[in-house]
Amino acid sequence: MSDSDLMSIQEVAKYLKVTPQYARKLISEEKLKADRVGSQWVINKSDLSDYIKKYDVMIEPDDHERLDNEVPPIVALSFFSGAMGLDIGMSNGGIKALLACEFNKYCRMTIAKNEPEIALIGDINKYSSEEILKLAKVPEGRQVDVIFGGPPCQAFSTAGTRKAFNDDRGNVFLRYIQVVEEIHPKYVVIENVRGLLSAPYPYGEVEEPIKGGALCVIMDRLKAAGYTISFELYNAANFGAPQIRERVVMIGKLNGEKVPYLTPTNSDNEMFGLPKWNALRDALDGLDIKEHHSIEFPEKRLKFYRMLKEGQYWKDLPPEVQKEAMGKKLELGGGKTGFYRRLSFDKPSPTLVTNPTMPATDLCHPTEDRPLSVEEYSRIQGFPDDWHICGPILEQYRQIGNAVPIRLGEAIARTIIADMNGEPLPQYDGFSYSRYKNTSDITWQIWMNKALEKAKEKVKEAQNAKIYEQLSLFAEENEAQESAS
């Protein structure tokens, strides 16, 4: 064994992309073999390789260009790729991305593990559009067909602080729009939460934040770049996902008529002649694994779950137990349907969240006394069984919970390819894509125009009041001067 085969703690830490303290912890736990030489630990490279293999260690990948040189018929780029739920759906539908952009290290590990040949970049702000195309190995002069992605939704979420573009995550949303403006793909896809429709932001003459202002800014930018826009709030259950999950999907088309709405494949309304919504049972059918990986409910909550049957929640507890179980939460408004919620095999899953044990959005297995497992999460979202989600278990839940259902991604791809080929897909008049109103590009714009008119009237009223106040003050000063003289 030569000195070149040995590594220091610092070198191992740098290789694994962990801290030296963590590397020392691996040695103390005897996971990583090391030898003491004087006052220093040294690690043989072969022992490091054995550790990586034994514990299936995934090292955060560096940014890199695409490893494959082939140029497919449809050239696409993916941004804010996450665990690649949208990418898988788009690929299944015929649109496979050449580049993924993702900042989160665990998501990057997931991407590298499952799609090692795809180009990978991190911070979207650190790359020019020219560099992005070069890393994706898009031939010079070849137009990009599709750019798709879900810019960080927290800045627009109805459950967050709604800072929109004043939040760093909102700013990367605008950077995403800028990349689209510069690369000019034939189609652009934006997937986001329902809160995008009403995210407040100053717009036009209205200097104070107005609900819907953020979307107005986004649409103005895209229209100025030559895109026609269609969007709707879609329930993923209407496209075959065994989950009630509503997301805004916006499709922009360069220099052409707007793209039709997505074509549903399932419905809870028999009048359209479509198959019924898929249920949790359909998602979990055939899931044959030796061990489920899940976090646990605290014992103080488990005792109440043991009183509940499939499909029940806190209101199904005995009346004398409800107060003990809920405490002050009983005083909260709304139906509180997420508390102590056991799922039903015969209904779609509620929206998967980033942690299945959060009290207000519990996701308990229908018959077992535990939350849904990571494996069940993956099935519900539609990930292939061999898709490896990297990172600690809470990060796995987070990645899957933030993902776009694969079936929704497939519907987006089908719609775009049909539009490319001039082959219209079936449309169902009167179909309700979600449970909310004013969510399409048409109905939302009507609502937004009315809101803007009201806001402008308030601005004028405020301006007139200020002018009147100034005139009154001027008149009072003149009277005072005349009295003094």
Provide the pLDDT for residue 165: 59
Residue 305 resides in a domain: yes
On whether both 339 and 324 belong to a single domain, the answer is yes
On whether both 341 and 327 belong to a single domain, the answer is yes
On whether both 307 and 258 belong to a single domain, the answer is no
Give the structural domain span for 141. Answer: 76-278+407-443
On whether both 376 and 423 belong to a single domain, the answer is no
Q: What is the mean pLDDT of residues 155-174?
A: 58
On whether both 293 and 240 belong to a single domain, the answer is no
On whether both 227 and 344 belong to a single domain, the answer is no
Residue 326 resides in a domain: yes
Residue 9 resides in a domain: yes
Provide the pLDDT for residue 153: 57
pLDDT tops 70 at residue 164? no
Residue 480 resides in a domain: no
CATH number of domain containing 143? 3.40.50.150
Provide the pLDDT for residue 159: 42
pLDDT in tens, 109-139: 999 999 999 999 999 999 999 999 999 999 9
Residue 484 resides in a domain: no
Residue 330 resides in a domain: yes
How does strand 246-254 pair with strand 40-44?
unpaired
Nearest to 80 by CA among 107, 102, 99: 102
**Secondary structure string (H, E, C) spanning the chain:** CCHHHEEEHHHHHHHHCCCHHHHHHHHHCCCCCCEEECCEEEEEHHHHHHHHHHCCCCCCCCCECCCCCCCCCCCEEEECCCCCHHHHHHHHCCCCEEEEECCCHHHHHHHHHHCCCCEEECCHHHCCHHHHHHHCCCCCCCCCCEEEECCCCCCCCCCCCCCHHHCHHHHHHHHHHHHHHHHCCCEEEEEECHHHHHCCEEECCEEEEECCHHHHHHHHHHHHCCEEEEEEEEEHHHHCCCECCEEEEEEEEECCCCCCCCCCCCCCCHHHCCCCCCCHHHHHCCCCCCCCCCCCCCHHHHHHHCCCCCCCCHHHCCHHHHHHHHHHHHHCCCCCCCCCCECCCCCCECCCCCCCCCHHHCCECCCCCCECCHHHHHHHHCCCCCCCCCCCHHHHHHHHHHCCCHHHHHHHHHHHHHHHCCCCCCCCCCCCCCCCCCCCHHHHHHHHHHHHHHHHHHHHHHHHHHHHHHHHHHHHHHHHHHHHC
- Tally of structural domains, the chain: 3
Q: What is the mean pLDDT of residues 347-373?
A: 96
On whether both 186 and 155 belong to a single domain, the answer is yes
Residue among 153, 216, 364, 390 flagged as catalytic: 153
Q: What is the mean pLDDT of residues 153-157?
A: 52
Tokens of 188: 């652009």
* Residue 52: Cβ-neighbour burial (10 angstroms; 0-12, 13-18, 19+): middle
On whether both 92 and 231 belong to a single domain, the answer is yes
pLDDT in tens, 280-292: 999 999 998 888 9
Catalytic status, residue 107? no
pLDDT tops 50 at residue 182? yes
On whether both 375 and 329 belong to a single domain, the answer is yes
Tokens of 450: 């009315």
CB neighbours of 346 closer than 8 A, spacing ≥ 6?
Answer: 279, 280, 281, 311
Percent of the chain surpassing pLDDT 70: 93
Asked if residues 152 and 93 have their Cβ atoms less than 8 Å apart, the reply is no
Residue 455 resides in a domain: no
| Distance between CA atoms of residues 438 and 447, nearest Å | 7
Kindly report the average pLDDT of the chain as a whole number.
92
CATH number of domain containing 396? 3.90.120.10
On whether both 212 and 111 belong to a single domain, the answer is yes
pLDDT in tens, 189-228: 999 999 999 999 889 888 889 999 999 999 999 999 999 9
On whether both 30 and 88 belong to a single domain, the answer is no
Residue 307 resides in a domain: yes
CATH number of domain containing 39? 1.10.1660.10
Residue type present at position 317: L
On whether both 296 and 387 belong to a single domain, the answer is yes
Q: How far is CA 322 from the centre of its chain?
A: 34
Q: What is the mean pLDDT of residues 61-86?
A: 97
